[in-house]
């Protein structure tokens, strides 16, 4: 299973990514988590990453690729991955396709989780109480939602045109969202078998 999870902040991609990885026995690779770990490790690179994250801006593509490529390469060799939070713009989508081609793997689907901005904002503000994340503040949340709409949003038509987009309503509790994703992916597998 090789899946991408495309979702605005607060749509539940971390939760769903973990569940889908356990369900399909592949590695869950969360771009934001790997970048946060790199930021915590410090050094020049870590400080640079942290500066982008605290503002809610995207980390430069080359840094993201340098951090993610080893994890994706290892996971592909192990049978697949759920890649959550990458790609987040068109150049990254092209780089992701090139990487997949180099590794000799093809994407099965791109799961797009959507929910209204008001729902996402409320969830993120609730999460802010316990997340301890530097980017879970009202101003930065607003900015992250704008970055998603302007920069990541264009990936929805991009993957729709490629016939691999699976759009799921994320304005429901986690269990029905998981069930919807699984039903849609099972449908794809059956269609591919015919």
Cβ at position 75, least distance to ligand AMP in Å: 16
Cβ at position 194, least distance to ligand AMP in Å: 34
Cβ at position 109, least distance to ligand AMP in Å: 18
Which one, 80 or 87, has the nearer CB to ligand AMP? 87
Cβ at position 76, least distance to ligand AMP in Å: 17
Under the rule (CB under 6 A), what is the footprint of ligand AMP?
A: 9, 31-32, 35, 52-53, 56-59, 64, 85-86, 88, 92, 135, 144
Cβ at position 55, least distance to ligand AMP in Å: 8
**With left for phi above 0 and alpha for psi between -120 and 50, is residue 130 left, alpha or beta?**
alpha
The label of the residue with tokens 């794809």 reads 188
DSSP summary character for residue 30:
E
Which one, 135 or 180, has the nearer CB to ligand AMP? 135
Which one, 59 or 76, has the nearer CB to ligand AMP? 59
Q: Spell out a b/e string for 56-81, using b for 16 or more CB atoms within 10 Å of the CB, else e.
A: bebbeeebbbebbeebbeebbeeebb
Which one, 10 or 80, has the nearer CB to ligand AMP? 10
Alpha helices for the chain (secondary structure H): 13-24, 31-40, 43-55, 61-77, 90-103, 117-131, 138-147, 155-161, 174-193
Q: Which residue is nearest to ligand AMP (CB)?
A: 32
Q: Spell out a b/e string for 116-154, using b for 16 or more CB atoms within 10 Å of the CB, else e.
A: eeebbbebbeeebeeeeeebbeeebbebbbebbeeebee
Which one, 48 or 171, has the nearer CB to ligand AMP? 48
Cβ at position 37, least distance to ligand AMP in Å: 11
Q: Contact, 41 vs 144, CB < 8 A?
A: no
Which one, 37 or 183, has the nearer CB to ligand AMP? 37
């Amino acid at each position: 299973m090789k899946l991408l999870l495309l979702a605005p902040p607060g749509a539940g991609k971390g939760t769903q990514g973990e569940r889908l990885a356990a369900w399909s026995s592949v590695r869950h690779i969360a771009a934001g988590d790997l970048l946060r770990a790199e930021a915590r490790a410090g050094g020049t690179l870590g400080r640079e990453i942290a500066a982008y994250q605290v503002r809610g801006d995207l980390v430069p593509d080359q840094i993201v690729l340098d951090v993610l490529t080893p994890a994706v390469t290892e996971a592909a060799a192990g049978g697949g991955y759920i890649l959550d939070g990458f790609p987040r713009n068109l150049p990254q989508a092209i780089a992701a396709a090139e990487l997949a081609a180099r590794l000799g793997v093809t994407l099965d689907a791109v799961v797009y989780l959507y929910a209204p901005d008001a729902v996402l904002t409320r969830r993120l503000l609730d999460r802010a109480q316990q997340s301890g994340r530097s980017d879970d503040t009202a101003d930065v949340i607003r900015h992250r939602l704008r970055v998603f709409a302007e920069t990541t949003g264009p990936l929805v038509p991009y993957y729709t045109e490629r016939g691999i987009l699976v759009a799921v309503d994320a304005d429901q509790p986690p269990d029905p969202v998981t069930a919807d994703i699984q039903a849609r992916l099972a449908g794809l597998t059956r269609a591919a078998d015919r």
